[in-house]
Structure 1
């Protein structure tokens, strides 16, 4: 459990750093465009940071239960019906995330020989955001599933 918390803290810190970097990069780009000195490499790096931020940030969304689910239906049922429906929703989500993990890994591998136009960054490394983000989201989804079931059982026992 300590390893999961450590990974979560590292991911959270990385998300904060990426978000701050994105804000700084976009501000620099706005100022340079204002003075007609646009830097194309900033656009490229901003896109890379945004992609990494999106996939790593997805794990935060999943861990808080804020991902797209059938909340209206799930909140209206109780007991065994809730467990069955909640389990089905989580299985579907995990299937989707595993498919994204596999396809994202294949994409990163296929693009490992390409470099970006302006910055010569390896595109395989940039595309690793997908499988790394998916691994974090899978872990967060599993943790969220068990935590929610436990909370629901405690509510139903009251």
Structure 2
């Protein structure tokens, strides 16, 4: 980080950003661990001939959480799938415009997904929908869609504008988040 244009609030935002994404990483770790245990129980129960039906449903819930939080983390780190050979051939201003278009497109897409997920969540809560085996609220499977959409928007914007800021500072096209995150 350079001292050019440095403001004390910038450090606060960086610390807050760090805390949020560390919490997401920790939550992902716990969920993936739970998924591993659940799928292992499922495999073992089937080997013994006494299939545990709760394992399939729980693994589906955990997978949804993993997919949406993992996707958001990928956007935050700029590790989402992309083909950049055409963008890399463009002049600097066009690359910056392309990154801005990516951020706007991602924001619109995940705003639509998140908005529709909120509607689904409200419907699930209004009707009291529960899962067939575990008997827990189906809204638990919708929350990660909303959370993941919000985090994907935030992560994409942070990553893209960090990349633009690095380009302006003469740092090239590398995402600053890739170097700062383990």
TM-score normalised to structure 1 length: 0.93
CA distance in 2: counterparts of 1:13 and 1:78, whole angstroms: 39
Is 1:38 matched with 2:51?
A: yes
| Unaligned 5+ runs, structure 2 | 1-12, 173-182
* Aligned equivalent of 1:129: 144
Pairing of 1:66-85 with structure 2 (within 5 A) = 66-85=79-98
| Alignment size in residue pairs | 156
How far the C-alpha of 1:125 sits from its partner, in A, is 2.5
Q: 160, 166, 171: which one pairs with 1:151?
A: 166
* Aligned equivalent of 2:120: 107
SS at match of 1:84: helix
Greater share of helix: 1
| Unaligned 5+ runs, structure 1 | none
CA distance in 2: counterparts of 1:33 and 1:70, whole angstroms: 42
* Aligned equivalent of 2:100: 87
Runs of 4+ displaced beyond 3 Å: none
Name which of structure 1's ranges 75-84 and 133-142 shifts more when overlaid on structure 2.
Answer: 75-84
How far the C-alpha of 1:70 sits from its partner, in A, is 4.3
- Give the CA RMSD over aligned residues: 1.3
